[in-house]
Amino acid sequence: MKIGLISINMHTKVLNFASPLHTVAFQQFLLQNGIETTVIDYKPVYYGRMDVRHPLFYYAEYPDPDPKIQSQMLKKWKRLFYEREARFDKFQEFIDKHYIKTDKVYNWESLDKEDPDFDCYICVTDVIWNRNKVNGFDKGLWLASKCMEGKKKIAYSPSRGSSSYSNEDAKEALQYLADFDYLSAREKSFQTYLEDLTGLSILMVLDPVFLQEPSFYEALAKEPEHKPEKPYVLTYLVMMKNSRLVRKASLFAESKGLDLIELGEDLENEHLDGVMPHKVVYDIGVEEWLWYILHAEYIFTNSFHECVLAIILHKQFFAGKRFGDKIDTVLDLFDLQGRRIADDELDTSLSIPDIDFGPVDERRQELVQQSKDYILNAIHDLENRDHQPLISPEELSQREHALDAKIEEVQEIAEQLKIDAEHEQTVKIQEALEEWNRIKWTPKIVKLRIKYKLRKALEDEPPVPEELRLLVGIVFEQQAAAKTKGDDPEREEDDDA
């Protein structure tokens, strides 16, 4: 059986270390179990025309519509121009060295027209089932392209990240899910959601990085050019800035007599107020990232996969703020909720005891075996039978009708809420106007309060009926005329209000 693997495996705008690493970990795990696979060189739908090696060139040719963001991007990628080239090249070297992949690059459109000729497709982990605000779902990552029709399909550890689905999204997702032979989820919340949506029992499995033992990552690690001279605390932030976490790491490092190393693109953090002088490193690849983790005394991160590697490699770590529940899920699985540190608290990490990895390892082995059994049993089962969708056409139709009814119910509720809001706003404006007419010449403080209520009512959603807007406008025009005539003795103070 020819198996194709598809995921965010090569084309990542941010050059996330974990994307190629979890792909290699998964493909090598299957190979270790006698199963040959091919990674489909796939560009996700959101990738667009991005020049990943030279983001500076991309933003010069396709400016961001927001001038402020455009200016920030140009400054950032000019500053990181050579470091970005080096990082991109190291990613490519890693991929070329470790992937067994297709020669051709595909996207969802080309997979609608051309069949890569696989008997079975596996979509593999990370945030592959989120809904892009511009492009919607990526059909290729849902194994819903035309070339995949009638083919065997397995989902291993998919995630939707911090996004949520509307009822319309759920209906589209249900159509894709119905055609799978095997389904699983990475996060507890997504597992529950999929079970409610499909009516099926969905297994929560571990990220593919967990499928390998420490020796696998130790063999991949490569000494970096920027090798620390002293024992160090490592900090690594992804997808968001977090100067507070960097300051926490710095305070912790100073308390332990350790140096601080930061992996990231914010080079200005080397001189961040309240932070010890330290090196910020950006121009590294996957192997060097692993080296920094392996040799760190402590780790401060908001990266899900760095938390995972810290658990596997027995590294003391602290998890900072991150959207979604993927970090919380993995901490809950291993009873490590105490490793979470809040940004708005004092340095609580100073009082958190070190992790006892004995119980953690016992739990890890148990969960890893469940995850291994799931994927190996799924593949071996499909080697001996034809594609069989999990949800029959009849059941799919019933569930779609139920979703349609839910959508209609939500729309009715939304319409009623809109009507209620419009009525409530109309009443507020009418009451404010009546009060204004009653106390037109009363003391200043009362007049100011009424004027505020009128203005506030005009600003609120939903839109104010035009006749009321005109009426309120007349009130302010009358007042302006009174000021001009000198009739309002408090006009200067009113203007300030």
Q: Look at residue 486 in the predicted model and tell me its pLDDT.
A: 41
Q: What angle do CA 210, 215, 218 make, to 5 degrees?
A: 100
Residues 200/390, Cβ–Cβ less than 8 Å: yes
The two most distant CA atoms of the chain are separated, in Å, by 93
State mean pLDDT over 107-134.
92
Tokens of 244: 């507070």
Whether pLDDT at 373 is above 50: yes
Q: Whole-number mean pLDDT of the chain?
A: 87
Residues 213/314, Cβ–Cβ less than 8 Å: no
In the chain, where the domains are located? 3-211+366-390, 222-313+315-354, 402-496
Whether pLDDT at 434 is above 90: no
Nearest-angstrom CA–CA distance, 132 and 138: 8
pLDDT digits (tens, 9 = 90+) for 90-116: 999 999 999 999 999 999 899 999 999
Whether pLDDT at 386 is above 80: yes
**Residue 203 identity:** L
Phi, psi angles (nearest 5°) of residue 419? -60, -45
State mean pLDDT over 457-468.
53
Please state, for a pLDDT cut of 70, what percent of the chain lies above it. Answer: 85
Residues 153/121, Cβ–Cβ less than 8 Å: yes
Q: Look at residue 480 in the predicted model and tell me its pLDDT.
A: 47
Cα dist from 18 to 135, 168, 198, 352, 451, whole Å: 24, 31, 30, 27, 56
The CATH superfamily assigned to 222-313+315-354 is Glycogen Phosphorylase B; (3.40.50.2000)
pTM confidence score = 0.81
pLDDT digits (tens, 9 = 90+) for 237-267: 987 778 889 999 999 999 999 999 999 998 8
Tokens of 366: 């148990």
User: Does the 3-211+366-390 domain belong in CATH 3.30.1050?
Assistant: no
Q: Look at residue 402 in the predicted model and tell me its pLDDT.
A: 86
pLDDT digits (tens, 9 = 90+) for 268-277: 888 888 889 9
Query: What's the first-to-final CA gap in the chain, in angstroms?
Result: 75
Cα dist from 239 to 242, 322, 345, 485, whole Å: 10, 9, 22, 59
Q: Say if 3-211+366-390 and 222-313+315-354 have the same CATH topology.
A: yes
Whether pLDDT at 290 is above 80: yes
pLDDT digits (tens, 9 = 90+) for 37-95: 999 999 988 777 889 999 999 999 999 999 999 999 999 999 999 999 999 999 999 99
Q: Look at residue 321 in the predicted model and tell me its pLDDT.
A: 84
The confidence band for 385, taking pLDDT boundaries of 50, 70 and 90, is very high
pLDDT digits (tens, 9 = 90+) for 387-427: 999 999 999 999 988 888 877 776 677 777 778 777 787 77
Q: Look at residue 83 in the predicted model and tell me its pLDDT.
A: 96
C-beta neighbour count of 459 within 10 angstroms? 8
The confidence band for 346, taking pLDDT boundaries of 50, 70 and 90, is low
The confidence band for 208, taking pLDDT boundaries of 50, 70 and 90, is very high
The confidence band for 278, taking pLDDT boundaries of 50, 70 and 90, is very high
The helix/strand/coil state of 492 is helix
